[in-house]
Amino acid sequence: MKHDALIQTVIMTQSEWPLWEVFIRSKQGLDHKHVGSLHAADAQMAIQNARDVYTRRQEGISIWVVESKHVHASNPDDAEAFFDPANDKVYRHPTFYQVPDSIKHM
Amino acid sequence: METLEMTQEEQFQARIDADVRIEPKDWMPDAYRKTLIRQISQHAHSELVGMLPEGNWITRAPSLKRKSILLSKVQDEAGHGLYLYSAAETLGTTRDQMLADLHSGKAKYSSIFNYPTLSWADMGCVGWLVDGAAILNQVPLCRTSYGPYARAMVRVCKEESFHQRQGFEIMQTLCEGAPEQKAMAQEALNRWWWPTLMMFGPKDEDSPNTAQSMNWRIKRFTNDELRQKFVDMMVPQAEFLGLTVPDTQVKWNEARQAYDFGEVNWDEFWAVVKGNGMCNRDRLGARVKAHEEGAWVREAAMAHAAKRAARQVVAA
Ligand SMILES: [Fe+2]
Ligand SMILES: [Fe+2]
Ligand SMILES: [Fe+2]
């Protein structure tokens, strides 16, 4: 009864439903954007609950859910050093360059 | 390199002072975390328990339109509770823990929901006054210092103004109706006015945590400031309806450019907070019953999900 044992362990080790992060595409052509989280027993239920919790007023046309434990994040304590490489590269921005007034369309 | 000499706590306060939002994984003082967990979970509990007094009237709404509106509003309040529980969970508490604290009576929720809803006009007063007071409390919270809380409040605030308007519309319809209907509206206002003023919490001098919360920018206005705003907003609206707020001391103060008003009955306020309001036992009893009766659904859903997952493992 390997099958049943597997089910039992899942139930026993989890008193509350897992947490899911919810992403919603508000209209065609836009990115899915993080809107919040919710608890659900599985992905299918998470999508249904996300519809009821986060799109009661037509806020979305598409939903993604990701179980929160699968999200990996950069460490805020290291943010300064981590994002440092971009700090001294002003030449990556168009405003770094001087364009003569007589030049149009640039 | 002054920042190197600042303690972690000073750096934290400097970020708050610069209006930088704090996010879940950022360092924060323990007391800040605890204060937020308490405040956000209390707020979530209020949304949840707040469904009960209005749920009481769904089956007795006077028309299909009113029933649909009320049902939608109550559903929104469930949603508000969920946004807020999620925000609190980012601080390291769990849903189970928060619900356990609510059900054991350890956690508080807004005392306003410990008053009974006796007539249909109460649905008008709850929307107009109670949601009106909630909006005043909540709008500044959209700029509160903790990111997930602020974002949840933006969502909540977008949905609240429908709540207030449908309540006002109920009141207006009653006030423009038969004399009995108008009397019903006045009677409901008489009962709800003072408890609504209590929603803003104790007087500033009796609210020892306000200073710290303002310093952390969790709170943006004091209880008394919000109460005054509420009275200034509501007295003219009651006049428009042709109703009288049940406070003989309400009077426009030209010098202050605000209404003077009477003193809240603070003995009643503390009695309700301590659990001795008209409906405290009913409300908590209803919550516990719903939770217990839902236990098999929660377990069944987990079993079903596990079964499906196992089937996938076997198939793979
Ligand atoms: Fe709400
Ligand atoms: Fe609320
Ligand atoms: Fe509301």
Instruction: Quick: pLDDT tens for B256-308.
Output: 999 999 999 999 999 999 999 999 999 999 999 999 999 999 999 999 999 98
- CB pair distance less than 8 Å for A11 and B304: no
**Lowest-pLDDT range of A14-23, A47-56, B40-49, B180-189:** A14-23
Looking at the complex, does the CB of residue A36 fall below 8 Å from at least one CB of chain B? yes
Which residues from chain A sit within 8 angstroms of residue B149, using beta carbons? Answer: none
pLDDT at res. B94? 95
- Give residue for tokens 């310093």: B215
Among candidate residues B162, B155, B124, the one with its CA nearest the CA of residue B138: B155
CB-nearest partner of B307 from A7, A17, A19: A7
CB-nearest partner of A38 from B82, B159, B305: B82
**Residue A12 pLDDT more than 70?**
no
Q: Residue B271's CB: how many other CB atoms inside 10 A?
A: 15
**Residue B175 pLDDT more than 60?**
yes
Ion ligand 1 neighbours (CB, 5 A) are B 47, 77, 80
φ/ψ (deg, to 5) at B178: -65, 160
- CB pair distance less than 8 Å for B298 and A10: no
Residue B61 CA, ligand 1 centroid: distance in Å: 20
Phi-psi region of B165 (alpha: psi -120 to 50; beta: other; left: phi over 0): alpha
Distance, first Cα to last Cα, chain A = 71
User: Mean pLDDT, to the nearest integer, of B75-103?
Assistant: 96
- CB pair distance less than 8 Å for A7 and B25: no
Which residues from chain B sit within 8 angstroms of residue A57, using beta carbons? Answer: 159
pLDDT at res. B1? 46
- CB pair distance less than 8 Å for B75 and A77: no
CA B105 vs CA B45, B50, B288: distances in Å: 11, 16, 10
Instruction: Quick: pLDDT tens for B36-69.
Output: 999 999 999 999 999 999 999 999 999 999 999 9
Which residues, in sequence order, are CB contacts of A7 under 8 Å at separation 6+?
B303, B306, B307, B310
d(CA B243, CA B177): 13
**Residue A8 pLDDT more than 80?**
no
User: Mean pLDDT, to the nearest integer, of A82-100?
Assistant: 92
- CB pair distance less than 8 Å for B303 and A7: yes
As separate numbers, helices (DSSP H) first and strands (DSSP E) second, chain A gives: 3, 3
**Residue A1 pLDDT more than 50?**
no
Instruction: Quick: pLDDT tens for B206-252.
Output: 998 899 999 999 999 999 999 999 999 999 999 999 999 999 999 99
Confidence class for position B145, pLDDT limits 50, 70, 90:
very high
For A20, the 3-state DSSP assignment is strand
d(CA B299, CA B316): 26
* Amino acid of residue B280: N
Look up the CATH superfamily of A4-92: Phenylacetic acid degradation B (3.10.20.520)
Q: Percentage of residues in chain B with pLDDT exceeding 90?
A: 94
Looking at the complex, does the CB of residue A73 fall below 8 Å from at least one CB of chain B? yes
Report CA dihedral (B276, B278, B284, B286) to the nearest 10 degrees: 160
Which residues, in sequence order, are CB contacts of A56 under 8 Å at separation 6+?
B72, B75, B76, B79, B159
- CB pair distance less than 8 Å for B314 and A36: no
- Give residue for tokens 């807004």: B110
Instruction: Kindly list the domain boundaries of chain A, sorted by start residue.
Output: 4-92
d(CA B73, CA B161): 11
pLDDT at res. B228? 98
Residue B81 CA, ligand 1 centroid: distance in Å: 7
Instruction: Quick: pLDDT tens for B148-167.
Output: 999 999 999 999 989 999 99
Looking at the complex, does the CB of residue A24 fall below 8 Å from at least one CB of chain B? no
CA neighbours closer than 13 Å in the CB half-sphere of residue B180 = 2
